Every structure is written in C-alpha cells, then in structure tokens.
Structure 1
C-alpha cells in the first residue's frame, strides 16, 4: 500500500486577541492518500478553512506536525489553493492570470515551459478561446475555471479548494464538479476540498473527514465506496448523503435508535 502523501498529527490552533483566546482546532489527525479526493466537512465556523490554510502554509499551527511523503515530485509545489472568491487580477488577461505564479522569482520557469504549460491548461479547462479576455468578460463559472488553472500551473501535488463553487448556480456547480473529476484523472492530482454541501462531498469524494464543533477534532472519516460517475438519484448515493448530513449536524443514525 502506498504511503500517504500527507499526514496530519494532532494539529492545534487558537486565535488570540487582547481580551480572549478562541480555540479553533484541537488535535486534528488524519492521512491524505495520493490521488484521492478528500472532502472536509463540519458545522459552520468549526475551523475547516483554518485547517486548509494551515495545510497550505497560509496559517501557522500552534502545535502538531504535518509530514510530507518522501516521494514528493522534485520541482513541483506541494500545495496550491483555490479560494471561495476566484481572486483573479482584473488588469491581467486570462493567460497572464494563469501564468502569474510561474513567473514569480521562486518558480524560475523558462518562458517556453510557461507557454507550453499554460496552453495545456487552457485546453484542459476549455478556456482556449478566452486566453486574451479579461476577468470582467467571463461568467462566475469561467472565472473559477481560471482560478483552478492558475493553481494547477505550478503543478502542485495537492490542490486545496475552499468552497470554490459555493456562489455558483446548481448547473454550473455540477459542471465544475465534473471538471474536478476530469482534472484529477488527467493530472493525477490529490485534491482536498472544503465544502458545506453534503451532495457535493458524496459526488466527488473518496473519503469525507467530518469535523466536530469548535474547537474542532475529527469526528469521523467516512469512505464513499461508489464508482464514478455517480448518480445523485441513486438510492445508495442518497443513503450516504443523508448519513453525511446527520453526522455534520451531530444527529444520531436512525438505524441505531
């Protein structure tokens, strides 16, 4: 069995100001397997985004360790983040937004590689004909495609996604969920997704990590043993979705009552 690409061991985080301390995470531990889609769910405000930001290096944990697999690909970034808001630069074209990270000093990627990688991602995300457009000319769903392509441009081993589709309509959301599955298959990228939507979690995830109320711990890790593509009207899909909903809400399973 392959070693996990990432292991979290008793991660804690407390936010402090002059008046009080607010514990957010209380001993989070779980492994992330290579090339899996792992969804993180939990009650509103329990610290899901904080955890994702710690994994991405945007926040510092108070204690605990995050261990990377020894086989992380040389020359690749460990993580890249897609936020709730696409956070595109409005003055840059779609092409320039996608390659922005590659042109940072730390990347030092040759221009011919930048061009090749950008063209491949434009094709993969169906943005070829919009490469010279600007963000204000695109729909919300297309802007999120650009955000995903920009994150993938640095070839991360793990793509972190913080409710990237929450502001989209149902049909666009499903279209982009299918895009995530296609990208995972094409690029063999491990994906960690924070979502409030049980149906989205069951539609995408190989496993679902459910956090408890703040200060959050791991309440349960549920496998989703359904083949892709998944049908939300399938009785087994509905059963798992309802189970996830109850777990997030802290309600008991009716079968156990």
Structure 2
C-alpha cells in the first residue's frame, strides 16, 4: 500500500490502549485455536519425515557439539565447562531468533486467515510463540543429555530458569507483535531483521564467554562492560546460568524486567495505532 492508501483507511475509535490490550486478552482466550494451529505447523513441517520433530533436536545438538568443541579449543576452555554454555545458549537463541525473524512475517504469512477468520490479531502471534516454545521443549532434551554426561552441582537455583523462560516467552509475544505490524507495513524490515539477527548472534555471548573478556582485561574490562550493553546477554543469563549451575546476578533480572515492560508498552502503542490496518496491508 502507498501513503495515499493509508489515508484512505478511515480513522477508528478502536485506537486506544484498552482495545489493544483487549485484543491480547481475547487472543489468549482463543488458545484452543492457536494451540492446535501451532501443533499443526510442526506436523506439516515434518510431514513424511521418518524422524519428524526429532530433526529439531538433532540439528541443534550437532551445531552445539561442533561449535562447543571448536571454540573450547580456540579459547582454551575445558569442554565440560564450555559445551553446556554453548548448548543452552544455542537452545535459547533458537527461540529468540525464531520470534524475531518469523515474527516479522507472521501477518503476511497468515493473510488468508486474517481476512477470512474473525479472530483477534494476537491469535497469530500466540500461534508463533507456541510453535517456538515446542521447538524449545524439543531442544531441552539436549540439555538433559549434557547434564548426564557432565554432572553439575544443580541446587534449588535451577528453579530460577522457570521464571526466566516465562519472561522469554512473554517477550516473544511483544517482539512478534511489534515487528509483525511494522514489517507488514514496511516490507524492507523483514530482510533487515534477518541480517540484524545474524549480527546479534555474534555479539551475544553464545559461542564465547564474558568471563574470558574479564580475564583478558584483568578484572572488569571495558570490553566486558560493552558486552553487557547487549540486552540479549541478560535474557540468556537469567535462563542459562541456573541451567548450568552458575549464580545469576540480580541486575540481570532487573534489566530483563525493564526491557519486558518497555517492550510491552511499545507493542501496545503499535497495536493501538496500526492494529486495524493490518488487514489492509497484508
């Protein structure tokens, strides 16, 4: 659509935070719909495959093993310490990158349903996040295997991974909603996010560790401080650290909570302003 097309769409009285929030609530209440659609997406993706969804686990496991062994040799870090770090990081990164990249196309890919199915716009977002959560659950099998191979002293702190994952899923909702709306209006956003996500992978401590930067800098180095400016580092830490038996500093939680609140507000602003236009843009 062109700018003139936007002006042709009459203003709506539904441009309020209340109606935007109501869309999220109504979409969640239609969970039977997005629950079944998310499962169907996985079945369709691996139709006629012998191993089916196990390919998700195999692909992630092979990637984690290859990167873990390679970079442990390059950095001189014991495999028993580095491999769990890389593996859990890759598992969580799969969820994060999936919500960003697939979220940007979520409304475009569901054009038919949006125009024909009388449901909340957020249904399609919940469908995507649910599908990514299922992928995440499949990949957690790799973590269980690693804990068996490399026993770690996991105490009650491992329970902190549960609220960490809950926050990750909640952020997946606003990320998919916000980028989905923006990328539907401006189609250049999707390939831009694809490239940006790839860049973020390298600047996020997944195949490297911030402790290495501390050691090289003799304490709290400036490079380590720069690394912590990346919000994704904090999202990974609140989940990864408890899962590999490491303590989580309180400031990681505060950063994640602050980003979650800001992100939800931004998503609600986008929904208030442009939610009703999505059906015209797809």
Q: Which has the higher strand share?
A: 1
TM-score by length of 1: 0.26
TM-score by length of 2: 0.24
Larger Rg: 2
